[in-house]
Amino acid sequence: MTSIRPLLALALPAVLAAGCAAGSEPVAAPEKTTYTIDKEASGRDFYTEEVPQQTPIEVEAAGPDTEAPAADPVTGPAAAFDEPAEEPAGGPQDTSARTRKTGTSGGKIVYNMKPPRGYKRYNAPGAYNVTKLIYPRREIFGVFTDQQRNQVADRNALGRKVGMQPNMIKSFYDWNNGFDPNWARQIWAAGAIPQYELEMQDPDVATIAEVANGQHDEFVRTLAKNIRQANVPVVFSPWHEFNGDWYPWGYCGSTSKADSNACQVKNKPSDFRRAWRRMHNIFKAEGATNAIWLWQANQIGARPKVGLKQFYPGESYVDWLGVVGYYYGEKGWYHTFDTVFMPSIRALKKVSKKPIFIPEMGMDSYNRPKDIHNFLYGVAKRSDVIGFLWFSYNKPSEIDFRIDTNGTSTRAFKKYIHKAAFGFNPRSPLKNKYNARTHK
């Protein structure tokens, strides 16, 4: 949901010159579509959408190449927290992962789901093998910090405050910005996994349909070559929150406003699937199998009529499922793990059995200690959720989302992050024990 894009490459492409037929008058170039894109739009503008109960899910026919919904993965018991998370009043509750109150000394640590029997992931010769990272035993604790600052230094400072270094660092890049292998190597050398979020802010530069039709293969191929050149794990996520209509690469649904960003471009879910597969195939051809493909939706409470499966490119093209969500207690919106994330987790589990990651989340200051406990408990008790990444940024136009926005928030986070299986050395993702040398 971020609007932090300091490295945007938004220069419009040159307008094609009018062609001339031999011996005839010049022919005028066709008019280009004019877009009025609001780059500050986000899912937070749409949370008040009202949908009647039992409204049919809005989907586009996915075609014969889509796959049957996968079975519900098994979840595990709760980790050792002081007290059970408070349940929201009213509404159906998920009980698949709930257990008794455990206490700090007698609780059982819950590790993440194991890979399915016979699991294999193609690894190009010489490329960093990310197979062990796909199903890490302990929870990922990632962070996004101000991209205009030194993100590694800010991550280290935060890690000292909470007693655990984040093991993933996110950055947002717009289409045509490219990929710097040194950026990824520096993050990996610091003990974290780089997460590359690829956006497409200007439809005059590129659209989903154009990518699907091969018009941007050169950029995709260069991107893949540079990721392969880095030869470290890179969590790669193009076009996040695709089920929303606030981004130009999103989806225009029946409840969308005609002037919303997605409705101006009129993307189709079939274009999204084809574009994703085309990019993935190019990456594979270039040997960039060190990329971990993260397919991330916005939490479905913002667009409850839009089905997710219509956007799914297929099991062979995705490593992790993702859901973005924020706590908004002050505005009376979503303020518990059950209300923010569980509807989306249930929806994702109908699409695939892949691991689920929360690649972007944050919360307002309504009741930070309680909400931090509720969130970390919610992640820890589910073996199908492999971790989270906190949007730890002070957004001047909105909210100070930083974990360490004040002492109370910092102390609460430090307390609860240590009560479950959070944090691990990315080079040893299957080890159960906490690696103190990695988290000084």
Shortest CA distance to 216 belongs to which of 290, 273, 275, 288?
A: 275
Whether 129 maps to a domain, the answer reads: yes
Shortest CA distance to 426 belongs to which of 165, 248, 177?
A: 165
Q: How far apart are CA 421 and CA 425, in angstroms?
A: 12
Is 241 catalytic? The answer is yes
Mean pLDDT check: name the lowest of 56-65, 236-245, 255-264.
56-65
Q: What CATH code is carried by the domain that includes residue 186?
A: 3.20.20.80
The residue with greater pLDDT, 208 or 56, is 208
pLDDT for position 78:
47
Report the domain count for the chain.
Answer: 1
Strands 385-391, 291-298: pairing is unpaired
**Which residue intervals of 289-349 are DSSP H helices?**
337-340, 342-349
Is 360 catalytic? The answer is yes
Domain boundaries, position 270: 79-88+105-431
pLDDT for position 16:
30
Across the chain, mean pLDDT equals 82
Full-model pTM: 0.83
Mean pLDDT check: name the lowest of 37-41, 104-108, 403-407.
104-108
C-alpha dist (Å) from residue 54 to 47, 94, 255, 304, 340: 18, 19, 16, 11, 20
The residue with greater pLDDT, 28 or 36, is 36
pLDDT greater than 60 at residue 56? no
pLDDT for position 88:
38
Whether 226 maps to a domain, the answer reads: yes
pLDDT for position 30:
46
Whether 22 maps to a domain, the answer reads: no
Whether 18 maps to a domain, the answer reads: no
Whether 6 maps to a domain, the answer reads: no
Mean pLDDT check: name the lowest of 8-22, 139-153, 360-374.
8-22
Whether 283 maps to a domain, the answer reads: yes
| Predicted confidence (pLDDT) per residue in 181-205, tens digit | 999 999 999 999 999 999 999 999 9
Dump the DSSP string for 344-392. HHHHHHTT--S-EEEEEEEE-SSSHHHHHHHHHHHHHT-TTEEEEEEE-
Whether 374 maps to a domain, the answer reads: yes
Mean pLDDT of the 403-429 span: 95
Mean pLDDT of the 224-251 span: 97
Among candidate residues 139, 197, 199, 241, the one labeled active-site is 241
- Whether 267 and 209 have beta carbons less than 8 Å apart is answered as yes
pLDDT for position 67:
41
| Predicted confidence (pLDDT) per residue in 99-155, tens digit | 323 333 345 788 999 999 999 999 999 999 999 999 999 999 999 999 999 999 999
Mean pLDDT check: name the lowest of 37-46, 150-159, 205-214.
37-46
Whether 424 maps to a domain, the answer reads: yes
